[in-house]
A and B are shown apart, each in its own frame.
Chain A
Amino acid sequence: MTETTHMVHAWAAIFFVAAFAVLGEVMIASGMRQLGDLDDIRAARGLGGTILAVLGNVRFVIGALCMALNFFAMLAALSLANLSLAGPAIAALTYIGNAIAAKFFLRERVDKRRWLATACVAVGVFLLSR
């Protein structure tokens, strides 16, 4: 395998891992928004009822499955790319991907302040991981 092909495979794996993470987090966030404040549910139904409500939410379950796939995809990505590249790249892509997905799929109001915060975290995590 040439150096270029190897890099293409490594970056494809990194994008794949980040995509699973974004999909998982957005589905979990959507499920939690659908359920409403868990503190209120716990007050009404107790801890057991709250856990059942969360585990019975389809969006949450799909999100959790995506996070599990993300974990295994991460293991595969680490066999193609070094941790020093994969770790910060996946973290930064996930932060930015989450902000874009939250704006378009969760209809969150992502104002300048939140874009700036997301960019600061993405760059900050990248610098910390070096």
Chain B
Amino acid sequence: MKHTLRPSQYAILIAIMLTASVGDSLLARGMKEVGAVDLHHLGLLWHALFNPYVDAGIILLIGFFASYTTALSWADLTFVMPATAFGYVVIALMGRYWLHEQLTWSRWAGVALIVCAVGFVAGGPSRTEHPNLDQMDAGAGR
């Protein structure tokens, strides 16, 4: 049976890509402001919680985890992983066009490969059906 996604499920996949990439970028920006944390300066981690970029990053990463677990409730792991890897492309393109960083040919090649990967999985079913296993699991899980 071919599983096709509803528009709300595509929205969850897009939320995973955006929350992961933007969340990581905000955390990186915040931690640059906080400074390097090592074993002798662990108190900085507490200080980091008062940085607005770190706070926004944590909220987005909680959103990422919620979206990711939701997606895994209706799609295979091997479908969700490549489909959401597009977030890496978002980070690379944000770096190129927003932060004006230089992208080397190898990074452009990486972008192209991930776009191809998303194309491969998008054309296939999102879920493998195991009627017997799913029935047993549902009985044990609820």
A residues sitting closer than 8 Å to B (CB atoms) are: 25-26, 28-29, 31-39, 53-54, 57, 60, 95, 98-99, 102-103, 106-111, 113-114, 116-118, 120-121, 123-130
What would 10 more interface pairs be, CB under 8 Å, given A36-B141, A95-B85?
A38-B69, A98-B81, A106-B77, A107-B133, A109-B76, A114-B78, A120-B117, A125-B88, A125-B114, A126-B110
Q: Which residues of B contact A110 (CB under 8 A)?
A: 78
Contacts of B113 in A (CB 8 A): 120-121, 123-124, 127
Chain B residues contacting A99 (CB-CB under 8 Å) are 78, 81
Q: Which of A102, A120, A123 contacts B77 (CB 8 A)?
A: A102
B132 to A: closest C-beta gap in Å: 11
Q: Considering the chains assembled together, what is the distance between the CA atoms of A124 and B141 in angstroms?
A: 36
> A124 with B69: in contact, given A95-B81, A108-B76 (CB under 8 Å)?
no
B82 touching A32, Cβ below 8 Å: no
Main SS class of interface, A: helix
Chain B at the A interface: SS class: helix
Cross-chain contact B128 with A107 (CB below 8 angstroms):
yes
Interface string of B52-88 (1 = CB under 8 A from A): 0000000000000000011011101111011001001
Contact flag A121-B141 (CB < 8 Å), given A109-B128, A127-B109? no
Q: A37 to B72, Cβ gap below 8 A?
A: no
B29 within 8 A of A: no
A53 nearest CB neighbor, chain B only: B142
CB distance from B49 to the nearest CB of A (A): 16
**Is the pair A130, B107 in contact by a Cβ cutoff of 8 Å?**
yes
B25: shortest Cβ distance to chain A, in Å?
14
Measured between beta carbons, the chain A residues less than 8 angstroms from B69 are 28, 32, 38, 54, 60
Distance between Cα atoms of A28 and B67 in the complex (Å): 13
Q: Which of A28, A99, A113, A116 has the most CB of B within 10 A?
A: A113
